Amino acid sequence: MAIFNYVIKIIISVCSIIGYKGESLAAPLLVTCLKKMEYRGYDSVGIGTINDGKVSVRKGVGRVEDVDSNLLLRVLPGRIGIGHTRWATHGKVTEKNAHPHTSCNGEIAVVHNGIIQNYSELKSKLMRKGHIFRSETDSEVIAHLLEEDYVSSGDLRGAVLNTAKKLTGAFSFIAAFSDGTIAGARFDEPLIVGISNDGYYISSDVIGFLNYTDRAIFLDNRDIVILKGSEMEMISFDGAPVMRPVTQVAWEFGGIDKGTYAHYTIKEINEQVETIFKSGKGQEDKIEQVSELLKSAPFVYFTGSGTSYHCALVAKALLSKYGRRKSDAIMSSEFQYLVNDIEPDPVIVAISQSGETADVLEVVKKAKPLGSKIISIVNVPTSSLARLSDISISMNCGPEIGVAATKSFTSQLTILYAIIDRLSGGVIGLENQRTKLQNAVKELVEGQKLIEQIANEIKNAKDIYVLGRSIHYPIALEGALKIKELSYVHAEGIPAGELKHGPLALIDKNSCVLVLNPNDSTFDDVKANAHEIKARGASLIGIGSSPSDVYDRFIAIPEVDEVLLPILEVIPFQVIAYYLALEKNANPDYPRNLAKSVTVK
């Protein structure tokens, strides 16, 4: 058995799926497991159990706790079952579209994560054969495909194999059969088996079962697991037996609990005092290897999605200024269409919190066969991206339950700083400033009272604009993203130098503008922008080192070397977004319509 002392964050699925087969009552376990994984999908919830040859399903719209309270999910009988929390892709958020979905004969129940791209074609064929569909989802076709094959052949194993091979897209599913068998299959979506003293778990996320066991099998792509009787069988989509190692996963269990904090998001913002200090520690050899690769590469590409893309923009600026290397930063959703036209034999630095982001994986899968070297920065060392990479550096920032990235962003950023610092011969001087940086982060998170007051003052703003120049522009983008994600207020990051080229037309007395105005080469130009905004009557908040009368409010950034300012500048935006969410009566941990990691395109 392989043993890894990882302190890891498993955030790897748009929806969460869980299965259990063992000696304990399944329903209470499933409800508890789903609560642990809910941050990745919380539109609706459902569970199905098997008892005395009968499949029972209960499901509803809403959070796990609410649906369980209303429908008593946890009292369903049986020691075998499956569960699901949904982030809607196909079909509205309704009880009918909630999982599990069942076959026509009611003897098979299925939970699914991902997207079945050919579901429409499959559904049409099944309907012509008399199958009746009850939902608008793509997921339901799996239950009917299993039924079609199983009824005609009587071969459960063959039905699972045939069904998995007929599906196109990225998926993982767990099926429960009335005879007590549970089967799971994965293709480009993660699936993990947990082995406990009293039974087996199958889950999209190790967090789901980690309270019950730390022994896990990470299934590979195109793997199928079948739990029949007391036996576990693992096979490939070709039907051949496969063996996967058992990994013992060590975890900081306390990190998954909110402790004394009202929300995970504010807890994780505060944890940056430690996570920024620790980022990259213990991985100096990998950082050295990556720096040498970047130094010799004919061209470097940084890629990521959302928050990770903003890290890529900062990295491009740092590599140009301190590493004197040509590079580009391209968002993954666009990069996948450009892969065939990139520079020959490049190094691609792929940044992803989960290591399962669909657009990032698409880039890597297309670029690797063309000769690209793949470097990844992730928080899950067992993720798909980490496995596809030539070198993978783990953030090790612990569980991040809040949907909006906070400590994972600054951990990614700090690791990128460490790599470019090593490449440049220590010009940035990160290692000599870690303690100073940590003290500065501590000062910022302890100054939340002022930021809470500012959030109260701007709570009625309908539009918020965030301005920055040079390396601070990506932080303006990230700051605007945080405000959008958590408070549902329209926010836009704008390059301050482009203000007179269009955006100034938006500024009036109803506008709220936040300006990144640090003491560096951008200071005077940004101050001039601030005066232009003030002349239009907008509410103006400055973020920097030098207060000024031009600002209605000012958030001071503690003094550090100017190159490190982006790491600090993002923190006030995280705190503003959090308190704005509270002012708007929005749950900052679970923003509407969003999931922790987008594993579907």
Per the structure, the count of domains in the chain is 3
Active site residue 442: no
Higher pLDDT, 393 or 505: 393
pTM of the predicted model as reported, rounded to 2 decimal places: 0.76
Element (H, E) at 598: none
Catalytic choice (104, 397, 596, 601): 596
Q: Is residue 40 part of a domain?
A: yes
Decide if 596 is catalytic: yes
Residues 470 and 428 in one domain: no
Q: Tell me the CATH number at 547.
A: 3.40.50.10490
**Does residue 5 fall inside a structural domain?**
no
pLDDT, greater one: 447 or 477: 477
Across the range 257-269, mean pLDDT stands at: 85
Residue 4 in any domain: the answer is: no
Per-residue pLDDT band for 88 (boundaries 50, 70, 90) equals low
| CA quadruple 37, 40, 46, 52: dihedral sign | negative
- CA dist 198 and 24 (Å) reads 7
The pairing of strands 539-544 and 373-378 is unpaired
Closest CA to 555 of 544, 566, 565: 544
In the prediction, which pLDDT does 563 show? 95
pLDDT the model gives residue 357: 84
Where does the pLDDT of residue 288 fall: very low under 50, low under 70, confident under 90, or very high at 90 and above?
very high
Q: Which of 253, 273, 298 is the last residue of a domain?
A: 253
Final residue in a domain of this structure, among 228, 253, 278: 253
Q: Are residues 211 and 266 in the same domain?
A: no
- Return the residue matching tokens 């896990």: 216
- How confident is the model over 339-348, as a mean pLDDT? 92
Eight-class DSSP state of 114: E
Cβ partners under 8 Å of residue 343, min gap 6: 298, 299
Q: What is the pLDDT of residue 41?
A: 61
Q: Is residue 3 part of a domain?
A: no
Q: Which of 39-43, 183-187, 545-549 has the highest mean pLDDT?
A: 183-187
Question: Poorest-confidence range of 76-90, 154-168, 246-260, 297-311?
Answer: 246-260
Mean pLDDT of 581-597: 77
Is residue 1 in some structural domain? no
The pLDDT confidence band at residue 6, using thresholds 50, 70 and 90, is: very low
- Radius of gyration, alpha carbons of the chain: 25
Based on the fold, state whether residues 573 and 546 are members of the same structural domain. Answer: yes
Q: Looking at 221, 253, 285, which one is the last position of a domain?
A: 253
Question: What is the C-alpha to C-alpha distance for residues 315 and 106, in angstroms, rounded to an integer?
Answer: 53
Q: How far apart are the C-alpha atoms of 416 and 315, rounded to whole Å?
A: 6
- Same domain flag for 366 and 484: no
- Please report whether residue 297 resides in a domain: yes
Bridge partners, residue 192, by sequence: 203, 218
Average pLDDT over residues 333-344: 90
CA pair distance 566, 547, nearest whole angstrom: 18
Point out the catalytic residue in the list 9, 15, 36, 123: 15
**Do 437 and 453 share a structural domain?**
no
Q: pLDDT value at position 47?
A: 96
- The per-residue pLDDT for 8 is 32
Note the pLDDT of residue 443: 95
Summarised one tens digit per residue, pLDDT across range 388-401 is: 999 999 988 887 88
pLDDT confidence of residue 400: 82
Instruction: Label residue 20 by pLDDT band (50, 70, 90).
Output: very high
User: Over the stretch 206-259, which tens digit does the pLDDT of each residue have?
Assistant: 888 988 998 999 999 999 999 999 899 999 999 999 999 998 775 544 346 677
Asked if pLDDT for residue 10 goes beyond 90, the answer is no
DSSP annotation of 185 reads E
Q: Could you tell me if 418 and 500 lie in one domain?
A: no
Cα–Cα distance list, 308 to 149, 314, 339, 386 (Å): 43, 10, 19, 15
Strand partners, 475: none
User: What's the pLDDT band for 7 if we cut at 50, 70, 90?
Assistant: very low
Same domain, 114 and 135: yes
Q: What is the pLDDT of residue 248?
A: 79
Same domain, 399 and 481: no
Percent of the chain with pLDDT over 90: 73
Question: Distance between CA 50 and CA 52 in Å, rounded?
Answer: 7
Work out the mean pLDDT of the chain and round it to a whole number: 90
Residue 182 pLDDT > 70: yes
Q: What are the tens digits of pLDDT across the range 310-326?
A: 999 999 999 999 999 98
| Pair (470, 566) in one structural domain | yes
Amino acid 90: pLDDT: 67
Taking residues 106-126, what's their average pLDDT? 95
Looking at the fold, whether 286 and 213 belong to one and the same domain comes out as no
pLDDT in the model for residue 188: 85
Are 584 and 459 contained in the same domain?
Answer: yes
Q: What is the pLDDT of residue 9?
A: 33
Q: Which amino acid is at 427?
A: V
Same domain, residue pair 466 and 441 = no
CB 216 within 8 A of CB 203: no
Assign 594 a pLDDT band (cuts: 50, 70, 90): low
From the list 182, 199, 196, the residue with the least C-alpha distance to 248 is 196
Structural domain range at position 243? 11-253
Contact of 279 with 414, CB cutoff 8 Å: yes
Dihedral of CA atoms 414, 417, 419, 420 in degrees, nearest 10, equals 170
